[in-house]
Amino acid sequence: MKNLRFPVLLFAMTVGLVACGEAPERAVQTDAAVVVKTMPIESTQNSATRLSGTIEAQRQTPLSFQISGRVIERAVDAGDRVKAGQRLFAIDERDLLQTQANAQAQVQSATQALKTANDELARARELAREKFISEQALDQALLRVTENESRLESAQATLAQAENALDYAQLLAPAAGLVTEVSVEVGQVVSAGQPIGEFATDGTLEIEVFLPQGLNAPPTATVVLDNQQWPARLREVSGAADPSSRTFRARYTLPATVQNIAIGTIADLLLPEQTGGDIKRVPIGAIDERGQGPRIWILKGDTIEPVPVTVLSMSVETAQIRTNLPVGTPVVAMGTHLLDAGQTVQVFAP
């Protein structure tokens, strides 16, 4: 019994020590506030809206043939400057020449037939005066003349079409200007109306911009390029928004003296100050776009809430927006893509 008492006592002491050392773990969950940096909404007073645009010719049209055929000549490349009436492209004329020859033969045949019909009519009239033929025979001779006149007119029209087609086989420059793009090679078969290039007519230059929804196109603006500025006047603005971007295309005309800007150059268009009191400016990082439309985040106590806005324009550092929030309202200036509505935040204090 004495030998068993020591192991039992040792086991009991071990269990007691283990029990005293155990402490139930308690999961402590804390919702730490997210630290955010805020900046106030600013007024756009005495500021202009800056939009990026593309310099284009006022008259810029696609090049295409009026008939189908195989291209046998490409006389220009993209970037070539041409004169009015200069030959640009040509298609194979062999079939067209055969069509023209056939039309000429039809005209000759119809001409001869009409001459014969007129001779027969003259004889019929002489015989009718002598009462050798009836009035019905005279009417038939007159009818044959009329029929052959119509046949000749039809043949002449067919010949004119064949000659026009021969003219269409050569694509000439519609005016003095610049070939901005070529998309066809020799040997390629093209269809009538298929664009094979782009042509910009010399003359007035314009800048094309896309206005965000809610921003009106003022009648005048300023084009800025490489530290140079020119006044510009609104020529047209689209009547409907683009279905994908929801923007409105506008074109502003530059002065006629501005001619040394390459087509396709990117330039800025400064729109004068918008007088609406709901146009404000915020840091570019304040704009949050996650498929729900542009919005900014404002403080409500120690939480944040999103507010939808309309973005009018963007620059490197700021964005112009349309909102009825008052100037001075603090908005989250960065990291907005990580925020959720109602989230607890702490304003960063440097």
257-271 pLDDT, tens digit per residue, is: 998 899 999 999 998
Among residues 247, 214, 224, 249, the alpha carbon closest in space to that of 234 is found at 249
What confidence score (pLDDT) does residue 244 get? 84
**pLDDT tens digit string along 8-38?**
444 444 444 444 444 444 434 445 788 888 9
Token digits of residue 211: 């206005």
**Long-range CB contacts (< 8 A, 24+ apart) of 96-104?**
96/67, 96/69, 96/162, 96/165, 96/166, 96/169, 97/166, 99/162, 99/165, 100/159, 100/162, 100/163, 100/165, 100/166, 102/162, 103/155, 103/158, 103/159, 103/161, 103/162, 104/159
Does residue 50 surpass a pLDDT of 80?
A: yes
Going from the N-terminus, what domains does the chain have, and what CATH number goes with each? 34-47+276-347 (2.40.420.20), 51-58+203-271 (2.40.30.170), 60-92+170-199 (2.40.50.100), 94-168 (1.10.287.470)
Instruction: Band the pLDDT of 46: cuts 50, 70, 90.
Output: low
Residues 241, 238: Cα–Cα separation, whole Å = 7
What confidence score (pLDDT) does residue 29 get? 40
How many CB atoms are located within 10 Å of the residue 141 CB? 20
Q: Which residues contact 121 (CB under 8 A, 6 or more apart)?
A: 141, 142, 144, 145
What confidence score (pLDDT) does residue 180 get? 93
| More confident call, 271 vs 109 | 109
280 - beta bridge partners? 43, 321
